[in-house]
Structure 1
Amino acid sequence: MQDALNYIFEEDNALDDFENMERILRAPRIFQTRRNYFEEYDEKAFATRFRLYKRSAMELLDLIESKLEFTSDRNNSLSPINQLLLTLRYYATGSHQLTMGDFAGVSRPTANRAIHRVTAAIASLNKKFIRFPETPEDIRKTQMEFYNIAKFPNVIGALDCTHVKIISPGGNHAETFRNRKGYMSINVQAVCNARLIISDIVARWPGSTHDERIFSASRRNAMFELGTYNHSVLVADSGYMNRSYIMMPLDRVQTAEETLYNESQIRTRNTIERLFGMWKRRFPVLGLGLHVHLKNCLPIIVATAVLHNLLQFKREECPPDDPALELPAPWEAIIEQGRIRQQRHPDNAREVRDINPVRRKLINNYFKTLQYS
């Protein structure tokens, strides 16, 4: 019995010695120095690195600060402004979160939590900043802005899709995210107005999904089918099904009015191409690729759309490219990588008959007279 007690006593002492040794050897917690980038950089340098000018960054902070505040400063918590700047820098570089943690003076897990926390807060503003024209006044204004580009009537938006590169999400359905160019992506549908403001966005479909499939399943298509927008139309490329409210270019032109229609349609539709280029160049993470879990990719896409619109509403110019950003290719090539031209929809195969009567009427009754005006 005594031997047993001595053994237990010795074991307890050994355990105490082990715990004491572990405490001695445990690395001390180090709080890194956090730089004040808001004060450190002038206006131009700040915008180059964070893609927003200081005044816009503070206005954004006012909108989301309540969602970023901690209840105390325990454990040297990250302030709302530092959380925001960390996230904006991530959008501006697409760097791995360990690098972002070093940038902000925090650990990688802290950087991860901060980026997704701020992203969720910004994305929650989508109903405020991403709005489709609904009132008669807004519809008329949007149509007039498009008309001023190339005299195409009744246009309420330019429609198209772009691909945002992601890492493989894994699982049984991972290959559905591989697009026709061979990389994993999310196929993002957007509608924009003539001022390059995103009025509608759908960011949840795998890269292999056809543009037409995305639009067919969208709420916006249902609204058009219900006649919500009267005689308004969308301009798009030839990858969509023939609908009375989607104006696509003609593959073959035989008359002067058809040529005029095509020229006007292409110039008007070019707004969505310009939008995608500006959006990705303003927030390079969209062009370079998202190296985060799939569930975190979608809020980032929406959050950057919200930020883009916020800056477009303010008519804030896109800042200069960051010279420290290492690009794998010129920006033109990166943006082109996100463009995947869809094959013509089978419904459009017999276009010689022009089975879209609204388009034919528009060509014969409007563009035919326009060429003589």
Structure 2
Amino acid sequence: MLLSVADFIGVSKASACRIVKKVTSAIASLSPRYVKMYSTNAEMNRAAEEFYRFARFPRVIGAIDCTLIKIQSPGREDDGIYRSRKGFCALNVQRVSDARLKIRNIVARWPGSCHDQTIFNNSSLKEAFQNGMYGRYMLVGDSGYKIKPYLMTPLQQVQTPAENLYNESSIRTRNVVERQYGVWKRRFPILSLCMRLQIETTMNVIVATAVLHNMAIDMNDSIPGEWTNPFNADEDEIEQDDDHYVESSTLSR
């Protein structure tokens, strides 16, 4: 990848490597400005209203999920830590998406073998919700997370029409984070390729693309319709695991 970039712009591979490292680090440093959760009740109320339009699920201000970003093996010593359940080395990246597909929170430092719940448990986001920073508002996630007063997930067993309606509304509301990943990945194809960079640089690349993704949305960058259609995705585009399968099975009933 770096060799191709170097050849294209007429510099050495070493120069291309240094440029990529410096530029992505500079863009990633803007994340506190462009990738941030809500700070006022008015912002949270507006976000909840936007989510409510999807499936009438109240008080939701974000959909949370993790996705695997492929990386080259960091070496024999750390290979097992970064090797994901799908057999390739990766970073497991946590994202919170709003109804407009903006990334409101991102954590891009955990190896691919880590579970989604572990990443959330050790995040400042969970601490903020536990401390009441977001009041009565909450997140919606898949069955890989434990249900909490501030994090709603689908029920594993549905017995009543009301429970089935809850599951359907929850899944349809959470689907926004899957669509967000599809758009994000199409804007920046490097996210679907195997990054052959140092781990620290790879983390900066991921955060930098999140910053640029949000900037594009703020600037009303046009998004072709097929970018946001989750049913046009190939098997590798949207990360599927057993929890997602349980949700789909529940919804079909």
Mapped to 2, the partners of 1:99 and 1:319 lie a distance apart of 28
Residue 335 (structure 1) aligns with: 237
Matched, 1:145 2:45: no
Residue 231 of structure 1, CA deviation = 1.1
Residue 221 (structure 2) aligns with: 316
User: Would the aligned equivalents of 2:25 and 2:201 in 1 still touch at CA under 8 Å?
Assistant: no
Residue 275 of structure 1, CA deviation = 0.7
Which runs of no fewer than 5 residues in structure 1 stay unpaired?
1-95, 322-329, 345-373
Residue 8 (structure 2) aligns with: 103
Q: Deviations over 1:304-335 (max 9, x none)?
A: 000111111122124799xxxxxxxx962331
Over the aligned positions, Cα root-mean-square deviation in angstroms equals: 2.0
Residue 159 of structure 1, CA deviation = 0.5
Mapped to 2, the partners of 1:335 and 1:280 lie a distance apart of 8
Residue 264 (structure 1) aligns with: 169
- Worse overlay, 173-182 or 210-219: 173-182
1:167–1:342 CA distance, 2 compared to 1 (3 A): farther
Q: Which has the larger radius of gyration?
A: 1
Pick from 228, 239, 244 the counterpart of residue 144 of structure 2: 239
User: Would the aligned equivalents of 1:282 and 1:319 in 2 still touch at CA under 8 Å?
Assistant: no
Mapped to 2, the partners of 1:255 and 1:145 lie a distance apart of 28
| Structure having the larger proportion of residues in strand | 2
Residue 251 (structure 1) aligns with: 156
Instruction: Please tell me the residue identity of whatever aligns with 2:237.
Output: I
Pick from 74, 78, 103 the counterpart of residue 173 of structure 1: 78
Percent identical among aligned pairs is 45
Residue 101 (structure 2) aligns with: 196
Residue 57 (structure 1) aligns with: none
Q: TM-score, normalised by structure 2?
A: 0.90
| Structure having the larger proportion of residues in helix | 1
Residue 209 of structure 1, CA deviation = 0.2
Residue 226 (structure 1) aligns with: 131
Task: Tell me: higher relative CO, structure 1 or 2? Use CA pairs within 8 A at least 6 residues apart.
Answer: 2
User: Would the aligned equivalents of 1:161 and 1:188 in 2 still touch at CA under 8 Å?
Assistant: yes
1:342–1:266 CA distance, 2 compared to 1 (3 A): closer
Instruction: Please tell me the residue identity of whatever aligns with 1:163.
Output: L
User: Would the aligned equivalents of 2:24 and 2:204 in 1 still touch at CA under 8 Å?
Assistant: yes
- Aligned residue pairs total 240
3-state secondary structure, aligned to 1:158: strand
Residue 276 (structure 1) aligns with: 181
Q: Deviations over 1:42-92 (max 9, x none)?
A: xxxxxxxxxxxxxxxxxxxxxxxxxxxxxxxxxxxxxxxxxxxxxxxxxxx
Q: TM-score, normalised by structure 1?
A: 0.62
Instruction: Please tell me the residue identity of whatever aligns with 1:334.
Output: D
User: Would the aligned equivalents of 1:163 and 1:339 in 2 still touch at CA under 8 Å?
Assistant: no
Residue 118 of structure 1, CA deviation = 1.1
Mapped to 1, the partners of 2:219 and 2:154 lie a distance apart of 33
Which runs of no fewer than 5 residues in structure 2 stay unpaired?
227-231, 246-253
Instruction: Please tell me the residue identity of whatever aligns with 1:149.
Output: F
User: Would the aligned equivalents of 1:126 and 1:303 in 2 still touch at CA under 8 Å?
Assistant: yes
